[in-house]
């Protein structure tokens, strides 16, 4: 009974791993993430989130 969900989970995990640069879980992280050039972390000290593109004004 658990084989189908386990296989589905494995396939989805591989798909997510292939696109890991696009994946972000917005939860509070105590340490500010290092973001690529042109991006910055959302949040504030003690509760950092994902890296997002800096909007051009």
What digits encode the pLDDT tens for the residues 6-53? 665 665 565 544 444 556 776 788 999 899 999 999 999 999 998 999
Global confidence as pTM: 0.51
Write down the H helix ranges in 1-57: 3-18
Predicted local distance difference test score (pLDDT) of residue 11: 56
Question: What is the DSSP-derived secondary structure letter of residue 29?
Answer: B
Domain limits for position 13: 2-54
Q: Both tokens of residue 20?
A: 């890991």
pLDDT greater than 60 at residue 4: yes
Number of domains in the chain: 1
Q: What pLDDT is attached to residue 24? A: 72
């Amino acid at each position: 009974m658990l084989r189908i969900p386990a296989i589905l989970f494995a396939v989805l995990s591989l798909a997510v791993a292939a696109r890991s640069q696009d994946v972000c879980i917005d939860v509070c992280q105590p340490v500010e993430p290092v973001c690529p050039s042109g991006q910055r972390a959302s949040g504030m000290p003690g509760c950092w989130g994902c890296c997002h593109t800096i909007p051009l004004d």
